[in-house]
Amino acid sequence: MTTLWTFLQRLVAVTLLLGCAAVIAETEASRQLKLRNSEFEKDIIKVSDSVYVAVGYAVSPVSMIVGEDGLVIIDTGIDTVSGAQIRQDFRKISDKPVSAVVITHGHPDHLGGLAAFVDSDDVQVWVRERFQDESNTLRDAGINRQRKRGAMQAGFLLKPEQRINNGIAKPYWPNRGGAVFESAHAAKPTHFATGDRTRVSVAGVELELVAADGETSDALYIWYPEERVIFSGDNFYKSWPNLYPIRGSAYRDVRKWAMAIGAMLGEQPEVLVGGHTRPIVGADEVVETLTHYRDAIQFVFDKTVEGINGGLTPNQLVEYVQLPQKYAQLDYLRPYYGNPEWAIRSIFNGYLGWFDGNATNLFPLSDAEEAARIADMAGGVQALHERADKALVSGDYQWVLSLSDYILALEPESAQARIRKADAMTALAESQLTATARNYYLSSAKELRSQASQ
């Protein structure tokens, strides 16, 4: 039955679907994400006497250290296309051969371009032991759902006009069918860093490869003491860190992540090359940045543990743990990529598992059973539709999602519910600063509209 509410709902949907630039510009989140694009401008930055950092070619920086008779490359980018471009531009600075490549961790956006930098079979390729342990564990268990979720998080399924950036990198679309965290070229390490600290001497360059659990269990940072440059990998970039990725992963040890930042601070670096975004140059700024970064992560961990010990559930914890303003106001700790709320939930689950401690949730009703009872209380499924229409028009988008889930549990084929939910997700996306959440909302909305049209 067509109602005024339904008409207004469709009017909102049309406005959202047009992707009007004026609408996007009106949201503070979209404006802030657009300002982030300056971090991803294509450039090669000289950060010390012999270190150059290529940014903006793809999604992660690639660094070059010019040694006495060869080059050392730190990370190689996401693919061989961008890797070849960087290699070509590096040759304009130095035509020395590559002597070694060091990979900070096993995610393919840092190693996919490896083939572009291996000039000969003599090139040393250094990684940490347990290299790519995360992907190997998933593969061995037969779990592949994170591929689709990763593509949704990254925005690979979206059109260019729907994406601003990824929070810590410019938009990227893979040439391999939309998967994420799969390399088109198999990494071929030749040397493994073992223990806490491995010293490497190559091409007259003395490096220290330091184990640094955080984003991954195969992560390391590279310390170049002669010029006081530290290469952090993805344990640092200018954003709240992705302590939990919504694509799904094993628990990322938040306490060890903070400790890894503290270890980097202990080196007293003067240059900080992050795993994404532009490098930071200057001892005072580097120390201040790393100090705040470490302390903010540690605060969230400590406060979450305090709440856990006080008997709080994950939903209660995200209200209880609030990042102090002295951290929240810092641009490099704003949730462009990761989000503190996800970290809080992950800490709880990482230590205590899925059960939140509330006995109600030991054996909960099924989605359909709970939805039937909610619909009965509301006066039927049609009443839920009407309430969802009103919530959409009033801008109560999260409530629209909840009501839509109840409706779809009872009417799985409801095109109306799917489109309404897609409209609410699209609206939420436009107000979302965390780019991965924005991408996931928009990707989910696209999928729902496709299902509704079938």
If you average pLDDT over residues 398-403, what whole number do you get? 98
Range of the domain at 69: 41-132+187-352
Among 352, 374, 391, residue at a domain's last position: 352
Residues 70-129 pLDDT 10s? 999 999 999 999 999 999 999 999 999 999 999 999 999 999 999 999 988 899 999 999
**Domain CATH number, residue 449:** 1.25.40.880
Q: 3-state DSSP: the chain helix, strand, coil percent, rounded to 5? A: 50, 15, 40
User: What's the confidence (pLDDT) of residue 211?
Assistant: 97
336 and 398 belong to one structural domain:
no
Residue 94: name the closest of 59, 44, 41, 60 by CA. 44
Same domain, 247 and 392: no
- Residues linked to residue 66 through DSSP beta bridges, in sequence order: 71
My answer on whether 88 and 213 are in the same domain is: yes
Residues 244 and 252: their CA atoms lie apart, in Å, by 7
Which of the four pLDDT bands, split at 50, 70 and 90, describes residue 25?
Answer: very low
Q: Which amino acid is at 451?
A: Q
* In-domain check, residue 150: no
Give 195-246 pLDDT, tens digit per residue. 999 999 999 999 999 999 999 999 999 999 999 999 999 999 999 999 999 9
Torsion of Cα atoms, 188 then 279 then 167 then 349, to 10°:
70
Task: Please report which confidence band the pLDDT of residue 183 belongs to, taking 50, 70 and 90 as the band edges.
Answer: very low
Tell me the per-residue pLDDT of 33-72, one tens digit each, with 9 for 90 and over.
999 999 999 999 999 999 999 999 999 999 999 999 999 9
Query: What's the rounded Cα separation, in Å, for the pair 322 and 304?
Result: 10
Q: Same domain for 246 and 114?
A: yes
- Quick one: pLDDT at residue 119? 86
Angle at 401 between CA 396 and CA 407, to 5 degrees: 120
Whether residue 280 is contained in a domain is answered as: yes
Query: What is the pTM (predicted TM-score) of this model?
Result: 0.92
Q: Rounded mean pLDDT of the chain?
A: 92
Specify whether 342 is located in the same domain as 381. Answer: no
**pLDDT surpasses 60 at 176:** no
Tokens 């059109």 locate to 159
> What is the structure's pLDDT at 186?
55
Please give the structure tokens belonging to residue 23.
Answer: 């609408």
pLDDT average, residue stretch 371-377: 98
How many domains would you assign to the chain? 2
| Residues 281, 192 share a domain | yes
Q: 133: pLDDT confidence band, cut at 50, 70 and 90? A: confident
> Same structural domain for residues 306 and 217?
yes
The domain boundary, picked from 301, 331, 352, lies at 352
- At 134 the pLDDT is 86
The CATH number of the domain holding residue 108 is 3.60.15.30
Amino acid at 139: R
Residue 148, in any domain of the structure: no
* Residue 144: inside a domain: no
66 in a domain, yes or no? yes
Of 45, 40, 110, 109, nearest in space to 73 by CA? 110
Q: Are residues 408 and 386 in the same domain?
A: yes
**Structural domain includes residue 9:** yes
Q: Do residue 204 and residue 112 come from a single domain?
A: yes
Taken as a whole, the chain contains a residue count of 454
- On the question of pLDDT at 14 being above 90, the answer is no
Exposure string for 113-141, b = 16+ CB within 10 A, e = fewer? bbbbbbeeeebbbbbbebbbbbbeebeee
* 378: CB partners within 8 A, 6+ apart: 384, 387
